[in-house]
């Protein structure tokens, strides 16, 4: 048996002298280094030039996260409403606090509703929130957590795949990243590369962005308004922007603005004329055609009526509740009002929803409060098929929440 | 570990430090290469390293035994042992489940419901490549085309050579073993060509991943797409599989060059082929030449008026090599049929003039017909099952489809077609005139840096190479 490399050691003529070898490999190594450094630098320049960075992608989430030390330091008892963009649009902390103050209760509440975050990402963020509260030994008096059925569907999960790596690098801590690296070396190195070299922007996000532009998933204008309505909508939209700039000259475009406690403006601050313009604006945006288009969009992008739930998203949701239970006196899970004029669950969807609710309730020991069809909120209080409208829906729903939870606060 | 991932980049950087600066003599370099190749393979799944090394060791000693055997019958027995081991590995890991499912389906069709359980074993990455590579060694020794090499480490290092281990090209022992025996120092000019090939490969892979979007959409939607969109999907898949596979090969060749090795060309602008026969001279050359030398010739080649049968068997098994599914068999059979038809037409007096004509219009007609047939073949290759393949082929030929065109249907079709063409023009340039670019230092490094930057910007390392599954 011959395990040697035969007579090769006797003839190293091809392999060159050590000096020759080192010289050529030095050139190769130098070329690899220079090419990669320059190419990576070019990538960073291109990303920055297009505003593709952490703030551009998850600005609101990161701003809210950065505000946590100040929130923890607030003197009053704390309430946090945690969820999706439906929470962002539907809960007014300042109205909530003011109404409770009128009842003699000093509460400071915050809107932690984030668009585009499915429960998987919300789970990661809730861990970061819990870490800060637990470290400072601070408790929430009440944690309101939204269970949004269509955020937990397989369709929603699959459509968010291109964001996973980027979001993980922004929301996971070093221990979690290290654990991924140990479990899957390729993925771990990939994530560290995105975090430290690519400024948190994965290639998938960029490819997907261009792919969406080139390969639009569906027509967004199946139902059309007449031209007069369309023109009026544009005109009023521009007018509202102008009025906003006039009324809030100091606002710098923060996505999660501390003085507003993470939500938007409130009617008391707005001029009477502005509120009139809003009324007109809603009249031309909440048209039947707009609503029907939005419904089709929601069906395609979230499976909103049939609701095939993604098991890992349900698990993530359970984790969110458990994370909040670590630092909250009371945790309530609620389902926000639904625009029943346009969104009707299928029989199978209803059945799946019941099963998902049972699973969550069993795992967390919390009964989910269903606010989907409360009388306080009517279909004309929605700006589309899912989100409550500003100065109407948000006020009505916040009012409802005050009545619902005032006693326990 | 995939070439276009950060993990491979760091692996290669560490490897080159040892290979280029620490281990400067033949033997340590060889061991460095072997260990690195096993680490590279093990990064995917360490448990399959013994299978790779074991099959190599078996073939190494079988070849020695064959050479020591004076009796032809004994030689043949040793060869059969090698064939049994290599094809046995393939049969168990790759084809067993397909066979079990097919038998179960057959029994079910005759009214007998047998509950046959599949093995559901993980398919070791690159198994089809390294078993064929190892087999070629014992067959060459048996035929007397090659003397058995001394040096087990050299043999295993050649078999597991990481640039081409998991997706080819399939190297012949007589080509790679002498290079392992005397590892060369890469020359700087050659290294520059290596950089160019790596960059071109990355560009092709990145383009392939983007083409996967319309391709996946078309093959998933099938009936709900217009005829134009269906053609776009099929064309996109043609571009995707070419960019993906030839891109991988380019990177493999480029990396090998940086290490001082020479790997032969595996693609020669295949979609410019003027006949199905021509296509197979340009597409996955290492496999088609392997099948020709070791299967087609073994079956008798052109002799005894059995060319048609032998072509058909070769293409059928070539199809099966790509995957254990009826669709791959159908793809092989389809190519067998169109190659046979090409031979038949070439022998007909009516077509002789046309066949030998070199006029532009004739060449265009030949190209169009060939490309159309290749695209039809890809439908079998990509479709999830035979029913879908037939449905898609039907939709491709539906005139006046009732389905409304998507918003950018024509734009996507045009972009896909232009990309497929551009990639071929780029490849043609690299094959014919790369040295012109390599001689212009400034322009050369500009192209490399911009190319790498673009791929880093939008290249998706999560997308594995299609040919890994074969």
Interface of A with B in 232-251 (CB under 8 A): none
The alpha carbon of residue A143 is apart from the nearest alpha carbon of chain B, in Å, by 37
DSSP letter at A110 equals E
Q: Which of A22, A28, A39 sits opposite B452 (nearest CB)?
A: A39
Q: What is the DSSP letter of A153?
A: B
Helices B152-159, B173-181: axis angle to 10 degrees equals 120
| pLDDT the model gives residue A2 | 41
Chain B interface includes A222 (CB < 8 A): no
Cβ separation B456–A32 shorter than 8 A: no
Distance from CA of B410 to the nearest CA of A (A): 11
In degrees, to the nearest 5, what angle opens at C-alpha A395 toward C-alphas A390 and A399?
165
Alpha helices in B357-408 (DSSP H): 360-382, 386-396
Strand partners, A331: A143
Q: What is the 3-state secondary structure (H, E, C) of B441-461?
A: HHHHHHHHHHHHHHHHHHCCC
Instruction: Establish if B458 touches chain A: CB-CB under 8 angstroms.
Output: yes
Q: Of B102 and B462, which is predicted with more confidence? A: B102
Number of A to B CB contacts under 8 A, please give it. 167
Instruction: Check whether B140 has a pLDDT greater than 60.
Output: yes
**Cα Rg of chain B, angstroms:** 23
Range 246-285 of B in CB contact (< 8 A) with A = 258, 260
DSSP A117-152: --HHHHHHHHHHHHHHHHHTT--EEEEEEE--GGGG
Tokens of B377: 């073949």
Task: Please check whether residue B327 is in contact with residue B320, taking contact to mean a CB–CB distance below 8 angstroms.
Answer: no
Condensed to tens digits (0 to 9), the pLDDT of residues B287-340 reads: 999 999 998 988 888 876 788 889 989 999 999 888 888 999 999 999 999 999
Å between A11 CA and nearest CA of chain B: 8
Q: Compute the Cα dihedral for B314, B318, B320, B321 and give only its sign.
A: positive
* pLDDT confidence of residue A14: 58
* In the predicted structure, residue A3 carries a pLDDT above the cut 60: no
Residue B468 — pLDDT band, cuts 50, 70, 90? low
Residues of A in contact with B150 (CB under 8 A): 2, 4, 6
CA distance A202 to A81: 30
* Minimum mean pLDDT range among A37-46, A274-283, A356-365, B229-238: A37-46
Instruction: Answer for the pair B166, B468: CB distance below 8 angstroms, yes or no.
Output: yes
Whether B188 has its CB under 8 Å from any CB of chain A: the answer is yes
**Cα gap B278→B271, rounded to integer Å:** 10
User: Strand pairing partners for A82?
Assistant: A112, A145
For residue B145, the SS3 value is: coil
Greatest C-alpha distance within chain B: 72
Q: Do A190 and B5 touch (CB under 8 A)?
A: yes
CA distance A198 to A47: 9
Flag whether residue A231 sits within 8 Å of chain B, measured between CB atoms.
no
Cβ-contact A321, A145 below 8 angstroms? yes
pLDDT tens-digit profile of B371-392?
A: 999 999 999 999 988 998 998 8
CA dihedral A36, A37, A43, A44 (to 10 degrees): 150
Q: At B67, is the pLDDT very low, low, confident or very high (cuts 50, 70, 90)?
A: confident
Instruction: Please write the tens of the pLDDT for every residue from A224-248.
Output: 878 888 899 899 999 999 999 999 9
Question: Token digits for B444?
Answer: 């050369």
Specify which residues A107 forms β-bridges with: A77
Catalytic positions of B are 322
- pLDDT bin (cut points 50, 70, 90) of residue A353 is very high
**3-class secondary structure, A159:** helix
The helix/strand/coil state of A102 is helix
For residue B204, give the nearest of B246, B235, B169 by alpha carbon.
B246
Which residues touch B273 (CB under 8 Å, ≥6 apart)? B279, B281, B282, B283, B367, B370, B371, B374
Mention every residue, 6+ apart, whose C-beta is less than 8 A from residue B327. B380, B381, B383, B384, B385, B386, B389
SS3 assignment, position B56: helix
User: Quick one: tokens of A25?
Assistant: 């490999």
The ipTM assigned to this model is 0.78
Q: Are B26 and A8 inside 8 Å of each other by CB?
A: yes
| A143 and A82 Cβ atoms separated by less than 8 Å | yes
Task: Give just the sign of the alpha carbon dihedral A4, A10, A12, A13.
Answer: negative
For residue A276, count CB atoms less than 10 angstroms from its CB and return exposed for 0-12, middle for 13-18, buried for 19 or more.
Answer: exposed
Per DSSP, the three-state class of B348 is: coil
**Interface touch A31/B195, C-beta < 8 Å:** yes
Give kind and range of the element (H or E) at residue A107: strand A107-113
Confidence grade of residue B403 (pLDDT, cut at 50, 70, 90): low
Calculate the CA dihedral of residues B210, B211, B214, B215 and round it to 10 degrees. Answer: -130
Share above pLDDT 70 across residues of chain B, in percent, rounded to a whole number: 94
Q: At B216, is the pLDDT very low, low, confident or very high (cuts 50, 70, 90)?
A: confident
Q: Residue B116 carries which DSSP code?
A: P
Phi/psi-derived region of residue A137, left when phi > 0, alpha when psi is between -120 and 50, beta in every other case: left
pLDDT level of residue A4 (50, 70, 90 thresholds): very low
25-54 of A, contacting B, C-beta below 8 A: 25-29, 31-32, 35-36, 38-40, 42-43, 46-47
What pLDDT was estimated at residue A206?
76
User: Does the pLDDT of residue B130 top 70, yes or no?
Assistant: yes
pLDDT score at A1: 39
CA separation for the pair B384, B219 (Å, rounded): 8
CB nearest to A12's CB, from B26, B186, B415: B26
* Confidence band, pLDDT 50/70/90 cuts, at residue A205: confident
Q: Is the pLDDT of residue B459 over 80?
A: no
Q: Which of B295, B35, B55, B3 is closest to B161 using CA atoms?
A: B35
- Identify the residue whose tokens are 């190479």: B465
For residues A282-306, average pLDDT: 91
Look at A24 and B195 and tell me if their CB atoms are within 8 Å: no
List of residues 6+ apart from A15 with CB closer than 8 A: A21, B24, B25, B26, B29, B182, B183, B184, B185, B260
Per the omega criterion (within 30 degrees of 0), is the bond before B169 cis?
yes
CA distance A186 to chain B (A): 6
Query: Where is B227: in which H helix or E strand?
Result: helix B227-258
pLDDT tens figures, A77-104:
999 999 999 999 999 999 999 999 999 9
A185 chain-B contacts, CB cut-off 8 A: 7, 43
Q: Residues 41..70 of B with a Cβ closer than 8 Å to A: which?
A: 43
DSSP state of B95: I
Which one of B409, B458, B463 makes the best mutation probe of the A interface by having the most chain A beta carbons within 10 Å? B458
Q: Is A81 helix (H, G, I), strand (E, B) or coil?
A: strand
Share of chain B above pLDDT 90, in %: 42
Among B282, B290, B277, smallest CA distance to B317 is for: B290
Of residues A206 and B346, more confidence is placed in B346
pLDDT band at A392 (very low <50, low <70, confident <90, very high): very high
DSSP symbols for A320-371? HHHHHHTSEEEEEEEE----TTT----HHHHHHHHHHHHHHHHHH--PPEE-
Average per-residue pLDDT for chain B: 86
Q: What pLDDT shows up at residue B269?
A: 94
Count of CA atoms in the C-beta half-sphere (13 A) of B155: 28
Phi, psi torsion values for B91, nearest 5 degrees: -60, -45
Domain range summary for chain B, segments of one domain joined by +: 6-183, 189-469
**Arithmetic mean of pLDDT, A121-144:** 96
CB A65 within 8 A of CB A93: no
Looking at the predicted structure, is the pLDDT value of residue B461 above 80? Answer: no
Q: What is the CA radius of gyration of chain A?
A: 26
What residue in A sits closest to B406 (Cα-Cα)? A218
């Amino acid at each position: 048996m011959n395990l040697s490399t035969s007579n090769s050691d006797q003839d190293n003529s091809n392999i060159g002298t050590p000096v020759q070898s080192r010289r050529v490999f030095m050139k190769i190594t130098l070329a690899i280094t220079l090419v990669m450094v320059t190419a990576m630098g070019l990538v960073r320049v291109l990303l920055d030039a297009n505003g593709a960075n952490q703030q551009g992608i998850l600005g609101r989430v990161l701003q809210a996260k950065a505000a946590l030390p100040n929130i923890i330091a607030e003197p009053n008892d704390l309430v946090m409403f945690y969820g999706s963009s439906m929470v962002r649009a539907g809960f007014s902390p300042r109205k909530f606090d003011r109404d409770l103050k009128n009842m003699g209760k000093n509460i400071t509440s915050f809107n932690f509703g984030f668009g585009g975050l499915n429960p998987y990402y919300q789970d990661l963020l809730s861990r970061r929130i819990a870490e800060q509260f637990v470290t400072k030994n601070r408790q929430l008096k009440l944690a309101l957590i939204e269970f949004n059925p269509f955020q937990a569907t397989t369709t929603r999960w699959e459509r968010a795949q291109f964001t996973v790596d980027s979001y993980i690098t922004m929301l996971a801590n070093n221990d979690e990243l290290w654990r991924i690296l140990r479990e899957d070396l390729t993925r771990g190195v990939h994530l560290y590369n995105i975090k430290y070299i690519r400024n948190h922007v994965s290639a998938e996000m960029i490819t997907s962005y261009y792919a969406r532009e080139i390969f639009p998933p569906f027509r967004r204008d199946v139902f059309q308004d007449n031209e007069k309505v369309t023109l009026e909508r544009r005109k009023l939209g521009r007018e509202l922007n102008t009025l906003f700039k006039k009324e809030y000259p100091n606002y710098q475009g923060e996505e999660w603005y501390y003085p507003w406690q993470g939500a938007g403006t409130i009617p008391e601050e707005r001029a009477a004329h502005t509120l009139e313009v809003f009324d007109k604006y809603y009249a031309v945006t909440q048209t039947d055609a707009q609503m029907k288009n939005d419904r089709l969009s929601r069906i395609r992008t979230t499976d909103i009526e049939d609701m095939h739930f993604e098991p890992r998203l349900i698990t993530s949701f359970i984790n969110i509740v458990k994370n909040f239970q670590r630092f909250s006196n009371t945790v309530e899970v609620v389902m926000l009002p639904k625009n029943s004029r346009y969104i009707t669950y299928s029989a199978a969807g209803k059945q799946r929803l019941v099963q998902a609710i049972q699973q969550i309730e069993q795992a967390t020991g919390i009964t989910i409060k269903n606010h989907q069809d409360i009388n306080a909120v009517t279909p004309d209080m929605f700006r589309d098929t899912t989100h409550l409208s500003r100065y109407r829906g948000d006020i009505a729903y916040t009012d409802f929440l005050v009545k619902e939870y005032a006693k326990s606060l | 570990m995939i070439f276009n991932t950060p993990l491979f980049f760091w692996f290669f950087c560490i490897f080159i430090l040892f290979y280029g600066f620490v281990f400067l003599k033949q033997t340590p370099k060889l061991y460095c290469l072997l260990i690195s190749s096993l680490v590279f393979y093990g990064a995917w799944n360490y448990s399959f390293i013994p299978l790779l090394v074991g099959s190599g060791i078996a073939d190494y000693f079988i070849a020695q035994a064959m050479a020591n055997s004076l009796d032809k019958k004994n030689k043949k027995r040793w060869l059969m042992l090698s064939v049994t081991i290599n094809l046995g590995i393939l049969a168990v890991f790759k084809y067993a489940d397909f066979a079990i499912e097919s038998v179960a389906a057959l029994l079910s069709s005759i009214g007998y419901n047998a509950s046959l359980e599949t093995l559901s074993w993980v398919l070791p990455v690159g198994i089809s490549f390294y078993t064929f590579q190892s087999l070629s060694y014992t067959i060459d020794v048996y035929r007397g085309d090659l003397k058995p090499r001394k040096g087990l480490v050299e043999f295993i290092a050649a078999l597991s050579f990481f640039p081409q281990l998991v997706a080819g090209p399939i190297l012949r022992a007589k080509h790679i073993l002498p290079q392992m025996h005397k590892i060369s120092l890469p020359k700087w000019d050659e290294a520059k060509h290596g950089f160019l090939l790596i960059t071109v490969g990355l560009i092709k892979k990145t383009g392939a991943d983007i083409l996967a979007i319309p391709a996946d959409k078309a093959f998933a939607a099938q009936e709900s797409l217009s005829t134009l969109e269906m053609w776009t999907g099929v064309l996109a898949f043609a571009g995707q599989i070419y960019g993906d596979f030839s891109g991988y090969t380019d990177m493999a060749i480029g990396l090998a060059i940086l290490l001082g090795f020479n790997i032969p060309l595996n693609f020669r602008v295949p979609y410019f082929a003027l006949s199905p026969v021509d296509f197979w001279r340009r597409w996955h050359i290492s496999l088609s030449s392997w099948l020709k030398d070791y299967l087609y010739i073994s079956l008798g080649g052109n002799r005894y008026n059995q060319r048609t049968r032998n072509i058909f068997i070769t293409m059928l098994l070539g199809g099966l090599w790509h995957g254990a599914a009826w669709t791959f068999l159908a793809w092989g059979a389809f190519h067998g049929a169109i190659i046979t038809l090409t031979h038949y037409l070439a022998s007909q007096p009516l077509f002789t003039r046309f066949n030998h004509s070199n006029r532009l219009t004739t060449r265009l007609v030949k190209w169009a017909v060939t490309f159309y047939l290749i695209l039809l073949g890809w439908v079998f290759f990509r479709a999830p099952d035979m029913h879908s393949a037939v449905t898609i082929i039907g939709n491709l030929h539906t005139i006046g489809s009732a389905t409304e065109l998507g918003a950018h249907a024509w734009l996507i079709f045009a972009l896909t077609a232009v990309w497929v063409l551009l990639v071929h023009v780029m490849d043609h340039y690299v094959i014919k005139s790369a040295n012109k670019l390599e001689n212009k230092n400034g322009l050369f490094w500009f192209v490399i840096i911009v190319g790498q930057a673009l791929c880093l910007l939008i290249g998706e390392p999560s997308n594995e190479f299609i040919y890994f599954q074969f």
